[in-house]
Chains A and B, each alone.
Chain A
């Protein structure tokens, strides 16, 4: 790798001047000059990889000035800042909605931010901020509603107006986190289907999904951020945009780099930006990003030669609703793109939730722009961190897991006399007895109500009214999911079991609501 160029970069020296140390280097100025003259050598990133493989690094460096990358996928931390101009009389907007989607108001009177994941209040989970942005870009009319408390300088308290993008003073995409270098491959070990931002995941590892374009991804081709940083001009959703720094959760230290971007949405192309909705998760926005990588030195050629088989990610069980989900293995993008991965020694179908076809189209389009002299390169004016890692949150206040509220379960066995069981319920002042077998494994549950009924009727053995299809919880499960299960099945307690099905305790909805201060989850 060519360290010379990189260290120059770090010292913040003029990047565009050839230094004596760096004889075999090319500058961005030289490349732009060639773009102007119409003789720039530009390849798509896939063509470049083939060239390096067939002709070697030196030839590729000599023959190619710039390559184009591409990615197209769901990027939730996206949105657009709009300025809608002042009404007469003017309003200082307090709350606003576009097509019934709340658009927040972080600044002054008529600046709004349309967040991709905000959902319509009338069509939640189907229409959201991402769709509003798409509709505006398509030139559609949208309905804006706003309310305000009214001030001396802004007397208006209500506003209803129809708008198109032409009515907006500014319509700027402003995405906090885009272009993830790579992402985990998601699967689901639970015995029920789950709906996630990685799509629908069938029970028991019956399918899996991944995201990202692998070897086409911009950041995978410039992992040391030699050319991508604040000020890099990029293809953004069919228009021109800029990298404005590291994205939130930028984690290049473990291969999960991100970028923050902006761009004029008025000039974007609906072919490369789409509102989207993930069932039971919510709405989001598919963005298309293409970044040119100038081939400034041979080191960069080595890096852009990276192939799908070199880019690894983890297979992660999204069935476990925790921050640190269990990893079931590692896999490279070549395998992911093949359509099958191995999970638990089984071959499982895998498909993307981002679009490889669009990623190719983006890298091709950007290539054309450069070849036709419609797009010039910029050098970053500040580099992104290359080794930082995103930290998890501090432990939040309050109780979060079943283990925080679990208490000992009072148990019985199936062969016990009913009177004995009734006495235990009364003495311990409880409503549930957990039935266990000889090994202490869960075999059913008995409620005080059933026991009372049977004693009042003067008949029945214990085994007649044991509920045998019991829902249970595990110690490390979030309280919310345990509570959701109770509500779903209209039950008030869950025995807690370990991995082998042995009873280790019980949680009741009463305990949870008492500890949580009631109401919040009701």
Chain B
């Protein structure tokens, strides 16, 4: 799968009714995948996933239309590149990178999300870890 970036879009009372998301999708020619939404007449938030290569254009297009955009930083581990060495494990303050019972190194995203300190990225000798956003 191509890398994607998670972004929170905040709509206000003024722009919540307008079909902004579909406009942006058409204009940028890339899907904006809605993961969750909380909206009413007063405005609201939606969490979307955008293809990493298009993220800049999409964010700009939303901002031009008065939408507030928060980029969620995320850690992504490429399991094909990973050799389960563990160099990232002792670095992680959240125990989000940890050994599984079969000695695989796994990323528990829930523990990382929100903290996303980025300390692990340059520890990986295989460059298997990326910080997105």
- Could you give, for residues 81-92 of chain B, a 1 whenever the CB lies within 8 Å of some chain A CB and a 0 otherwise? 001111111110
Q: Within B79-130, which residues are at the interface with A (CB < 8 Å)?
A: 83-91, 99, 102-104, 119, 122-123, 125-127
Residue in A200, A202, A351, A354 whose beta carbon sits within 8 Å of that of B122 in the complex: A200
* Stretch of A217-225, A275-283, A313-321, A323-331 lying at the B interface: A275-283
In chain B, residues 42-83, which have Cβ atoms closer than 8 Å to a Cβ of chain A?
A: 83
**Please, which residue of chain A has its CB at the minimum distance from the CB of B82?**
A355
User: Distance (Å) between the CB of B71 and the closest chain A CB?
Assistant: 24
Q: Is the CB of A200 within 8 A of B87?
A: yes
B87: which A residues are within 8 A, CB to CB?
199-200, 209, 351-353
Q: A357-B102, A357-B103, A360-B103 are in contact. Are A352 and B85 (CB under 8 A)?
A: yes
What are the residues of chain A within 8 A of B126 when measuring CB–CB? 274, 276
Our pick among A276, A278, A355 for the contact of B86 (Cβ within 8 Å) is A355
What are the interface flags for A359-385 relative to B under an 8 Å C-beta threshold, 1 for contact and 0 otherwise? 010000000000000000000000000
CA distance A199 to B125 in the complex (A): 8
Residues in A whose Cβ lies below 8 Å from that of B127: 126, 277
Which residues of chain B come closer than 8 Å to A354, judged between CB atoms?
A: 85-86
Residues B89 and A279 in contact, CB atoms below 8 Å apart: no
State whether the Cβ of A446 lies closer than 8 Å to any Cβ in chain B.
Answer: no
The interface centre, meaning the residue of B86, B87, B90 with most chain A CB atoms within 10 A of its CB, is: B90
Overall SS of chain B's interface: loop
Verify A208–B90 contact, CB threshold 8 A.
yes
A207-B90, A353-B87, A355-B85 known; 11 new pairs, CB 8 Å cut-off, are A73-B85, A74-B125, A199-B90, A200-B87, A200-B123, A277-B127, A284-B125, A286-B125, A351-B87, A352-B87, A357-B104
CA distance A251 to B125 in the complex (A): 27
Q: Are B83 and A207 in contact (CB under 8 A)?
A: no
Quick check: is A349 within 8 A (CB to CB) of the other chain?
yes
- Interface flags, A59-84, vs B, CB<8A=1, else 0: 00000000000001110000000000
Q: How far is the CA of A356 from the CA of B89 in the complex (A)?
A: 13
Interface residues of A (CB under 8 A from B): 72-74, 126, 195, 199-200, 202, 207-209, 274, 276-279, 284, 286, 339, 349-358, 360
Neighbouring B residues of A349 by C-beta, 8 Å:
89-90
Q: Is A353 touching B125 in the complex (CB atoms < 8 A)?
A: yes
A358 to B104, alpha carbons, bound, how many Å?
9
Cβ 8 A contact of A199, one of B84, B99, B123: B123
Nearest Cβ in chain A — how far from B69, in angstroms? 31
| A355 adjacent to B83 (CB under 8 Å) | yes
Q: How far is the CB of B59 from chain A (nearest CB, A)?
A: 28
Most chain-A Cβ atoms within 10 A of its Cβ — which of B87, B88, B99? B87
25 sampled A-B residue pairs with Cβ under 8 A: A73-B85, A126-B127, A199-B91, A200-B119, A200-B122, A202-B119, A208-B90, A209-B87, A276-B125, A277-B127, A279-B122, A286-B85, A286-B125, A350-B90, A351-B86, A351-B88, A351-B89, A353-B85, A354-B85, A355-B84, A355-B86, A355-B103, A356-B103, A357-B104, A358-B83
Contacts of A195 in B (CB 8 A): 122
A200-B123, A274-B126, A349-B89 are known contacts. Are A72 and B83 too (CB-CB below 8 A)? yes
Q: Is the CB of A286 within 8 A of B83?
A: yes
Does the CB pair B84–A358 fall under 8 Å? yes
With a CB–CB cut-off of 8 A, which chain A residues contact B83? 72, 274, 286, 355, 358
In the bound assembly, the distance between CA atoms of A195 and B58 in angstroms comes to: 37
Residues on B with C-beta less than 8 A from A339 are 89-90, 99
Minimum CB–CB distance for B78 against chain A, Å: 13
Which residues in A have their C-beta under 8 angstroms from that of B89?
339, 349, 351
Query: Which residue among A284, A349, A357 has the maximum number of chain B CB atoms within 10 Å of its CB?
Result: A357
Q: How far is the CA of A276 from the CA of B127 in the complex (A)?
A: 8
Q: Which residues of A contact B125 (CB under 8 A)?
A: 74, 199, 276-278, 284, 286, 353
A279 to B118, CA, bound (A): 14
User: Closest chain B residue to A202 by CB distance?
Assistant: B91
Interface contact B85-A200, CB-CB below 8 Å: no
Interface pair A352/B86, CB less than 8 Å apart: yes
CA distance A353 to B127 in the complex (A): 13
